[in-house]
Amino acid sequence: MLGVIGGSGFYSFFGPDARSVNLDTPYGAPSAAITVGTVGTHEVAFLPRHGVDHEFSPHTVPYRANMWALRALGVRRVFGPCAVGSLTPDLGPGAMVVPDQLVDRTSGRKDTYFDSGGIHVGFADPYCPTLRAAVTDLPGVVDGGTMVVIQGPRFSTRAESRWFASQGFTLVNMTGHPEAVLARELEMCYAAIALVTDLDAGIETGAGVTAVDVFAEFQRNLVPFKQLVHEAIDQVADERTCTHCLPHAGVTLPIELP
């Protein structure tokens, strides 16, 4: 089973024949019930990251519960569509990007399942190369980029935005961490698929980023963005062969994974 964790405005993925699954976890309830349906030859589980009615802000999303619930359901490979701001004029609104690096600038989020036991997960390359290739092989997709994840829910100041850009970061987002590292701890393949909704505050002059504009841009591109995710799922092999996302070989874990 594949998983899709939808971002802002990405609330539905299947037709009326899909089924809904409610799960609880040791970390509380996930953002919403998980919808299970089919895309091509794959059974796919969809979870709205922010809840059905967008009730969870980026810093309050129950990330640990979300990832745990997907794994408990049988998911081992996850696509994470998300909205991002661009830190370069080369990537304007509507661009679809598959980042290959992540920088964490969040604070206070529960970002591990291993509070004991001295478990250290390799994360040099945070995204699954096999899942990334399933998307980057599609036409019109930008391959690569560094996504800096900020705490939110506020947008960046102009100075922060210029600082991020000066470091070579290309995208800014509020939900990519800890989602990606929790997937790695659970030995789940994970790849982000980013839709650019705006140029960040320091990249151009003007009023800066507004939530209204971000949501409107996401809605304008929602149909082709969903189509891209569907096409990426079609590119994924039926059998999982990736070993990059299996960091616990030879390690005794302090908890049992679902």
Mean pLDDT of the chain: 91
- Pick out the residues of the known binding site for phosphate: 8, 49-50, 175
Mean pLDDT value across residues 72-100? 94
CATH number, domain with residue 214: 3.40.50.1580
**Span 144-160, mean pLDDT?**
94
Q: 24: domain range?
A: 2-235
248, part of any domain:
no
**How many domains is the chain partitioned into structurally?**
1
d(Cα 48, Cα 172) in Å, to the nearest integer?
A: 20
pLDDT given at position 12:
65
Please give the average per-residue pLDDT across 76-93, as a whole number.
93
- Structural domain contains residue 257: no
Decide if 253 is inside a domain.
no
Tell me the pTM.
Answer: 0.93
Binding residues: 8, 49-50, 174-175, 198-200
Sign of the torsion formed by the C-alpha atoms of 105, 76, 42 and 62: negative
Task: Answer whether residue 58 is part of any domain.
Answer: yes
Q: By C-alpha distance, which of 94, 74, 75, 73 is closest to 84?
A: 94
Q: Is 250 part of a structural domain of the chain?
A: no
| Domain-located, residue 246 | no
Residue 74 domain flag: yes
Annotated catalytic residues are 198, 200
